[in-house]
Structures are given as C-alpha cells and as structure tokens.
Amino acid sequence: MEDLAALANAMAALLGNHTRFVGDTIDWESVDDLPNKLAAYQPRVIFHTASLQSPWDFLGAVRETRWKQLVWSAGNAIILPLQTILAKRVATVIQQLDPSPLLVNACFPDWVNPILSHLGLPISCGSGNVAMFAGFVKARYPEPEHRVQVVGHLYHYFKIMGTTHSNLEGPRVWVDGEEIHDVEVALADCFAKLRSVNSRGKIINELVGTSSAQVLAGLLGQAPVRTHAPGPKGLPGGYPVLIRNGQVELDLPSDCSEEDAVALNRQGAYDMGAAVIDEHGFTEFSVTAQETMSAYAPSLARGFHIDDLEQVCIELSQLRAKLEE
C-alpha cells in the first residue's frame, strides 16, 4: 500500500495537482478497525472495491478449477453474496458517521446496490460496467457535441461480447437523443473492441479506472458531470447519470421512462443468474443457476435471504475451498 501511495503521489506531482495519497489497510476480522479508521480519516467519499471473491479468478489466464467451472456454468450471480458482504459492512458504518460520506460501490453494483438500498443503507452509485460500453460508443462519436446515453445491465454487454444474441432486449443506446435500433448490428464494432480489450485481462481496468475517476471527481467537484454509472441510488443495472452537488441523478433520454429502464435492467439481472432483491429481502437465482447449483449445494440453490448473508458466505467459501482442492 505504501508503494502504491508513493507511485500515485509521483503521478500527481508530474501532473501538477495537489492530490496526495496515504497507504493504509483494514483488518476485516476486527469489529472496531473499519469504524475507527473511517472516523479518523473523515472521508467525503468512499470508493469501495473489496469483496470476498475476485472476479479475476475466472477471467484471463487463470488456473482451471471446479469452482471456476461452476461459476461459469451457473452464472456469476452465484457469487453475489461474496460481493455483497463487505459493501454491506462499509455502508453500515457509514450510516453511523456524521457527516455521512458518500459511497461508490464497485463490487457487482448492478446487483449489490439494490441490496444496500433495500436495507436502507446509503449508496450513491457504482462504477464501471455500463460505462465501459458507453466509452467505446462515445469513441465512435468522439466530437464533444455528440451525446451518448446507454441503458443496460452488465449481462447485456457480456452476452453480446461472447456471441450473437439477436433476441436480447438490451442494451438500449441513444446518440443525440435518437435511439439506435438493432444495436448488436449497428454497433458491432463497439462490441468487438470491448470484447477484444476485455480478453486481454486486467487491462480493461484502465477504462474502469477512468470512468471511476470521472464519477468521483463529479461527486467531489463543483462542476456538473454527465457520465454513466451502474446502481445509481440503488437501482439495478446501468444508466446515464448527471452528477452535481454530491448527488447522482438519472439522465435518461426523453423517450425512455425510469420504469422502462429499470424493467430492462431487472430482466438483465435475472438473465445473468439472479433476480434483483425483492420486497421480502430474497434474491432468487435463475432457473439455470438453480439447476447447476443443486448438484453442488442444494441448500444454496434457490438463492439467499439478506438476513442469512453471513452464513451463506461461509457456506460458499467452504464450497469454493472444496472445489479448488
């Protein structure tokens, strides 16, 4: 952490700005460590990227394991509890601070942020996902006067990146207020470029980092920022947003209602493996995920209730250890 802070400080100095970085760590097993450190630093914004399961265990040139095979077969949604638990802890601590910092969650925000919202915990938005694809579309229309707006769940980009799916309902894309129809064909070059870059592994984080910095700068700065973000104010999936005065607002095209955008993203969430948390606090896995999980962990196959999150994470961690032997 000290080396990363030193590197960031050198980069900031070369750019001539006054941002300074300090390295520190969190003891997640301690009840008091996180609250004490947040109280000491008094942050205005928290950018949360920590989870109990790295997605990079399944991407790029990594060791083949039965755990990786299970996740690919059932869908990434089965690791949702492992992505949620630390974000929930952070948001719970934030809620107790005065003043309360803003929270940007980068761990499966398309799904996790609605869970935090259901629990009444503070969440501004996420980062990445929809912004990745929006970046490639924007590069196709680079002039500043062109306005790009994208609505869609992480599922929509990854399915089209993998193969042709002409029956998908999303993502929906507008350029200068006009919706582009049959985006899979009309924007095929954008999907191809995203797929190619993503296939090289962690290099895609350069783009995610840029979009994240844009979100953070918008929350901390004075000038309004138009960008894209997943999970704004706990909504499922991704949207065009306007960030100003420390608030994240939807910035939808005139012919797309919030109800339509949310419905599209809810369906995308389920198609990728898990429904958005319901009013009773339950997250149901898709039929495909349930059928696959039944052979490995019948007790977890249907999904999980938020009240059982800690125990579900223990069981998933035990299953992972067994399948990685």
Say what percent of the chain tops pLDDT 90.
80
Tokens of 151: 């609505």
> Does 161 share its domain with 187?
yes
pLDDT at position 161 is: 59
Which whole number is the average pLDDT over 238-249?
Answer: 97
When divided into structural domains, the chain yields a total of 2
Q: Which ranges constitute the DSSP H helices of the chain? A: 2-15, 33-41, 66-74, 80-95, 109-118, 130-140, 154-162, 183-186, 188-198, 205-220, 258-271, 287-294, 309-323
C-alpha radius of gyration, the chain, whole number: 20
CA angle in degrees (0–180, nearest 5) for 85-87-89: 70
Q: pLDDT tens-digit profile of 166-207?
A: 456 789 999 999 999 989 889 999 999 998 898 888 899 999
Examine the pLDDT at 164 and tell me if it is beyond 60.
no
Q: pLDDT tens-digit profile of 81-95?
A: 999 999 999 999 999
DSSP single-letter state for residue 30 = -
Tell me if 156 sits within 8 A of 165, measured CB to CB: no
Which whole number is the average pLDDT over 149-177?
Answer: 80
Q: Is residue 165 very low, low, confident or very high in pLDDT (cuts 50, 70, 90)?
A: very low
Examine the pLDDT at 113 and tell me if it is beyond 80.
yes
What average pLDDT is seen over the chain?
93
Q: pLDDT tens-digit profile of 26-78?
A: 999 999 999 999 999 999 999 999 999 988 887 766 778 999 999 988 988 99
Which whole number is the average pLDDT over 138-164?
Answer: 83
> Does 78 share its domain with 96?
yes
Q: What are phi and psi of 108, to 5 degrees?
A: 45, 50
Maximum C-alpha span of the chain: 57
> Does 152 share its domain with 111?
no
pLDDT at position 217 is: 93
pLDDT at position 146 is: 92
> Does 136 share its domain with 121?
no
Give pTM, 2 decimals.
Answer: 0.94
Helix (H) or strand (E) holding 173: strand 172-175
Q: Is residue 125 very low, low, confident or very high in pLDDT (cuts 50, 70, 90)?
A: very high
Q: pLDDT tens-digit profile of 256-309?
A: 999 999 999 999 999 899 999 999 999 999 999 999 999 999 999 999 999 999
Examine the pLDDT at 16 and tell me if it is beyond 50.
yes
Tokens of 165: 């799916």
Tokens of 95: 């809620």
Tell me if 209 sits within 8 A of 108, measured CB to CB: no
CA distance 267 to 295: 25
> Does 23 share its domain with 105?
yes
Q: pLDDT tens-digit profile of 132-141?
A: 999 999 999 9
pLDDT at position 223 is: 94
> Does 38 share its domain with 154?
no
The boundaries of the domain holding residue 288 are 2-127+276-323
- Domain stops at, among 270, 286, 301: 270
C-alpha of 263 from chain center:
18
156: domain CATH number? 3.90.110
pLDDT at position 115 is: 98
pLDDT at position 122 is: 96
> Does 205 share its domain with 308?
no
